[in-house]
Chain A
């Protein structure tokens, strides 16, 4: 039963990051109303304060995040949730800076854009910090609805409108599916707490069905096969900065929630092989993503299919975790999410950097010779492509290594062979970008744009890509600060 919990002020402090983002979004709406019409308000820097403040809040409460629930069981504060939250905030922070320059370039700087990003981020944070069906759904809607709007933000661009409409329709449908799954679990077990409910529902076919349906709702958000059809169109049509946000922050939250749901779901599966379901989803996701990416010429579509493929690699962590309960598999997933965030934001950053006021340059053949024209950006793009392809010494390699190692440890040999062959396949299309950058003669002179802020974001991402590839135990030289590996390991152990 849904008991009415006692709520006090002390319940609010664990929610601080969520509140900062959510209330901050409201403040942004207010500012927009007050200064309406006047240009020149520094939207991006002001908005960036919100995820930055949320990061500070996470850091301040780090030691207190010990797995306690607040508002009854509605919200859980543990280091897993905090870690995913930190990833979300980093991705949001970087995406906001990209947005500032991007909106300037397309001439559509409006306050509501930033408010929507903030709202969405608050939903993402909530989504990863709960095992309760109602707040999961709340988080899902709070993160999704702003993203639907943002996808269709470029009103005069038919592709963007199509993206918004498509994402909205399919997303609404998947939300309904999610809700239906949740309802089935509630009907069987009488509780909306997932951990409790799935324990009670052990052996009940209805609860198992509900769980599968719920899972498919989440797999939709994570852009996995067979729920991936929306991804290429939406990623291509949405404003590039929004695509970067979706590909990183939303993906991190979706996998955070998936990990929690899978962890909670394990008692259900004495005889029905959850691992097998996830195994097939993982294999299909990476294979379909990679095969489809091979023939793409539009860089956003290519990155969309690549993000599907990466979702497949990430799922390996969940496959291993669902069968063995080994936290190392989840640590690998978290590490990969971090690597994926910096390299992906960086890649989208380069695309935005090159866009000029008239148009974006999205066809890969257009990049011919750009590596020589803008050496720094070309080098950065190459770093991101190499990292996405999983070649050392980059973050992408180490992330893959980390995920693969737990799978090999537990004997998922065929899965890893498939993943490795997929990974080899993916090298082809990532290298196509490098081929264009360095090995092709430019067809026509492109008018390239520029942007200092985006350049800085790209530089930060490139350095991070290298740094966490070279030294995955980065930060360990600062006393009292855990290395990234220790950090994700601690977080994974806390997952429930």
Chain B
């Protein structure tokens, strides 16, 4: 099935094209049609999981010339890194559509068409292995999200939407320049014009140039993550976006930044990545603590969740730049986990907003009595988000912290304080929001979760548990691809005087073998450094 991946990527866009021809009064048709398309995409991506071979090479590869004059290819493929991000995107897809059934009742046609186009853009960006194609999909994501925020958003939607676009575009245009620069460096060395990622990874870029190119790529990705201090677009965008937009934004779009680091910036420019490791680690730790502290003082639930994303994505970046397999796999795991738990949190906030049309924490209290199921779901998701063992958040956060301690105990220690702060602001929110006295008359007869809302939340909660107790199937499949992605970086470090970092790792690795028997082959530090096969 050579075309399977292409089918998965373009199914939503094809559905969008079909829906465009339907007259716009047929609201039900758009809702069900979009849902059917998303479910079909999810089903079509199941063979990707079942047919996935656990090795580091790209699978389900499709390669065809697109614009031959410039060596631009339609080149897509899947490995252990992108597999789960594609699945995450496709799991969230139908749920997002379902969650909007009641919330969106104006301009229904355009809403679902944009969601479907956005889905294709995200899937394409995760599987593109040609840098031009990647850039293409990266930009295709931009406009649907802009319109989702700007048309269906809250009071300040236009400001938020424009801010989102401007931030993103500054980064992505500089990335385009860097892509082109790399393309010409490759041409100068080999005489071939190509945007093929695999070929460009073989390019020998001088360190000085590498740093510039890394910074250009890194800026685009850091804005998307968002890494402190480039995060200021995020609270605005999240708060103003409609629920569906927030879920996609937090669940998938933010991962695009961390995915970009993992797939492009780090493997393409390993020496620069090693050079820039310290500053990025520091920024990510600042992000963790800062995001948590700012989340603590928020009065709007959605804004609180938005800042918690800044904090959680800080962990992801921290793991990515710890440059060991613990950190890397924890980081990828955290990307998935955050997608589920923060996605669910935004859905829950959306559910309560639909009933009360406010998100002020002070307007609530004591909901637990009247809304037992809602409270259950919210507390459950909160626990997942703050990393309770047995749920998804714990695995990722724990691995990341292990990785970070291995790299630098100081960084690890500060980052670990974020876990405490995270528990503090989330549990404090739960107390003020759900428990205590229900003294607001408007909160007396709120309806509990409907069947549709259960249908949206249940899959996420099941996955949270599954990812919490069964990390092995995930980590097994991720590992070879991660090792391959980090091989260049580890090679660079092995050649320099970085070996002390690996020594530091040893105790943690030994300990980890008992906790997670999954990655037994990483216990040997020598294997980590030299063993990554390119």
Chain A residues packing against B (C-beta within 8 Å)? 372, 386, 391-393, 397, 401, 404-405, 408-409, 413, 416-417, 420-421, 423-424, 427-428, 431, 434-435, 438-440, 471-473, 483, 485-486, 489
Contact = CB atoms under 8 A, between A and B. Distances in A.
A420 B179 CA distance: 13
A4 B425 CA distance: 90
A233 B169 CA distance: 31
Interface stretch (B28-36, B157-165, B403-411): B157-165
Contacts of B69: 472-473, 483, 485-486, 489
Nearest to A421: B170
Contact of B67 (A397, A404, A473): A473
A424 B165 CA distance: 9
A427 B169 contact: yes
Interface string B232-271: 0000000000000000000000000000000000000000
20 contacts: A386-B143, A391-B142, A391-B143, A391-B169, A392-B135, A393-B136, A397-B139, A404-B180, A413-B177, A417-B177, A421-B170, A421-B173, A423-B173, A424-B169, A427-B165, A427-B169, A439-B157, A471-B67, A485-B67, A489-B69
A435 B150 contact: yes
A420 B177 CA distance: 8
Interface string B164-197: 0110011001101100110110000000000000
A391 B121 CA distance: 14
Given A393-B140, A409-B184, A486-B69, A420 B161 contact: no
B151 interface: yes
A392 B107 contact: no
Nearest to B173: A420
A417 B215 CA distance: 13
B180 A405 contact: yes
A483 B68 CA distance: 10
B394 interface: no
Contacts of B157: 439
A416 B177 contact: yes
B68 A372 contact: no
Contact of B177 (A372, A408, A428): A408
Given A409-B184, A424-B166, A431-B165, A391 B177 contact: no
Contact of B140 (A392, A428, A440, A483): A392
A438 B147 contact: yes
A486 B177 CA distance: 23
Contacts of A440: 158
B107 A372 contact: yes
Contacts of A404: 176-177, 180
Choose among A413, A438, A486 the residue with the greatest number of B CB atoms under 10 Å from its CB: A438
A440 B173 CA distance: 28
A320 to B, nearest CB: 13
B146 interface: yes
Contacts of B107: 372
Nearest to B178: A408
5 smallest beta-carbon distances between A and B, as pairs: A485-B69, A420-B173, A424-B170, A408-B180, A439-B150
B140 A438 contact: no
A364 B328 CA distance: 49
A64 B141 CA distance: 46
B139 A392 contact: yes
A94 B161 CA distance: 34
Contacts of A420: 173-174, 176-177
A296 B174 CA distance: 26
Contacts of A485: 67, 69-70
Nearest to B69: A485
B163 to A, nearest CB: 10
B162 A435 contact: yes
Interface in B67-101: 67-70
A99 B162 CA distance: 35
Contacts of A434: 147
A433 to B, nearest CB: 12
A417 B174 contact: yes
Choose among A405, A409, A416, A428 the residue with the greatest number of B CB atoms under 10 Å from its CB: A405
Nearest to B167: A424
A197 to B, nearest CB: 36
Choose among A417, A439, A485, A486 the residue with the greatest number of B CB atoms under 10 Å from its CB: A439
Contacts of B166: 424, 427-428
Contacts of B169: 391, 424, 427
A332 to B, nearest CB: 11
Given A404-B176, A485-B69, A485-B70, 19 more contacts: A372-B107, A386-B143, A391-B139, A391-B142, A392-B140, A393-B136, A393-B139, A401-B176, A405-B183, A409-B180, A416-B177, A424-B169, A424-B170, A428-B162, A431-B162, A434-B147, A438-B147, A439-B151, A485-B67
A417 B216 CA distance: 11
Nearest to A420: B173
A131 B170 CA distance: 41
A405 B69 CA distance: 13
Interface in B110-151: 135-136, 139-140, 142-143, 146-147, 150-151
A428 B159 CA distance: 11
A352 to B, nearest CB: 25
Nearest to B142: A391
Contact of B151 (A401, A438, A473): A438
B139 A435 contact: no
Nearest to A409: B184
A439 B161 contact: yes
A416 B175 CA distance: 12
Nearest to B146: A431
A427 B165 CA distance: 8
Nearest to A471: B67
A420 B67 CA distance: 23
A372 B106 CA distance: 11
Nearest to B68: A473
Contact of A424 (B136, B146, B173, B181): B173
Nearest to A476: B68
Contact of A392 (B68, B136, B184): B136
Contacts of B161: 435, 439
Contacts of B184: 405, 408-409
Contacts of A413: 177, 181
B149 to A, nearest CB: 9
Contacts of B183: 405
B342 to A, nearest CB: 26
Contacts of B68: 473
Nearest to A426: B169
B177 A438 contact: no
A48 to B, nearest CB: 31
Contacts of A473: 67-69
B67 A472 contact: yes
B176 A435 contact: no
Contacts of A401: 176, 180
B144 to A, nearest CB: 12
Contacts of B176: 401, 404, 420
Interface string B435-457: 00000000000000000000000
A413 B174 CA distance: 11
Contacts of A427: 165-166, 169
Nearest to B182: A408
A427 B143 CA distance: 11
A393 B13 CA distance: 14
B374 to A, nearest CB: 32
A438 B67 contact: no
A392 B67 CA distance: 14
A456 to B, nearest CB: 20
Contacts of A486: 69
Nearest to A408: B180
A101 to B, nearest CB: 27
Nearest to B65: A473
B27 to A, nearest CB: 15
Nearest to A394: B139
A483 B67 CA distance: 10
A477 B226 CA distance: 43
